[in-house]
């Protein structure tokens, strides 16, 4: 496991965690952990954006809780993100599994600017990134426990 602390161009610390180094694409996600972290940084409050990048209005809408999961006040869907209250804050994130060959997890807290990107090269990565998220954030994320289907 390689753990490194990086600075984004906003000056906010972004924790980047890599498990293994692989060229396996993550389902329809073809990226590196570093590029995914830079993408995640665009959803943080106060990040300067180029005119061609996501607007601040769309960014706020994408990470806002739009559709509650099973009527929950703590877990909802945004535009491409799960959104949940966790440890007194609001976290947005996305998880993925590539036919049980690779798993991925990304999450951020827009107000603090903290984010986490985890890419694994094994289908068994789900419990690994659950453990990492709990250790790093001190929070047992609802999306790890809940049935995330909307109906």
Range of the domain at 24: 2-63+92-140
Domain assignment of residue 69, yes or no = no
Spatial contact of 107 and 44, defined as CB atoms under 8 Å apart? no
Domain assignment of residue 80, yes or no = no
Alpha-carbon dihedral angle through residues 78, 84, 89, 94, given to the nearest 10 degrees: -70
Domain assignment of residue 122, yes or no = yes
Q: Total domain count for the chain?
A: 1
Counting residues of the chain whose pLDDT is more than 70, the rounded percentage is: 76
Domain assignment of residue 19, yes or no = yes
Rounded to whole angstroms, what are the CA distances from 68 to 48, 71, 74, 78, 79?
A: 30, 5, 8, 9, 12
DSSP string, 3-36: EEEEE-TTS-EEEEEE-S-----BTTB---HHHH
- pLDDT given at position 86: 79
Domain assignment of residue 147, yes or no = no
To which H or E segment does residue 88 belong?
none
Rounded to two decimals, the pTM is 0.74
Each residue of 36-58: pLDDT tens digit? 999 999 999 988 889 999 999 99
Distance CA 119, CA 148 (A): 21
β-pair type (67-68, 82-86):
unpaired
Q: In DSSP terms, which residues pair with 100 in a beta bridge?
A: none
Identify which has the larger pLDDT, 31 or 79.
Answer: 79
């Amino acid at each position: 496991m390689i753990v490194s602390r990086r600075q984004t161009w906003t000056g906010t610390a972004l924790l980047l965690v890599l498990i293994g180094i692989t060229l396996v694409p993550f389902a329809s996600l073809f990226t590196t952990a570093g590029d995914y972290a830079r993408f995640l940084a665009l959803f943080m409050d106060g990040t300067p954006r180029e005119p061609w990048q996501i607007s601040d209005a769309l960014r706020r809408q994408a990470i806002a809780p739009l559709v509650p999961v099973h009527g929950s006040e703590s877990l909802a869907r945004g535009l491409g993100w799960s959104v949940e209250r966790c440890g007194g804050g609001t976290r947005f994130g996305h998880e993925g599994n590539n036919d049980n060959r690779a798993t991925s997890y990304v999450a951020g807290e827009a107000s603090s600017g903290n984010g986490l990107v985890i890419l694994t090269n094994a289908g068994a990565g789900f419990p690994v990134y659950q453990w990492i998220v709990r250790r790093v954030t001190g929070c047992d994320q609802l999306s790890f426990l809940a049935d995330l289907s909307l109906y």
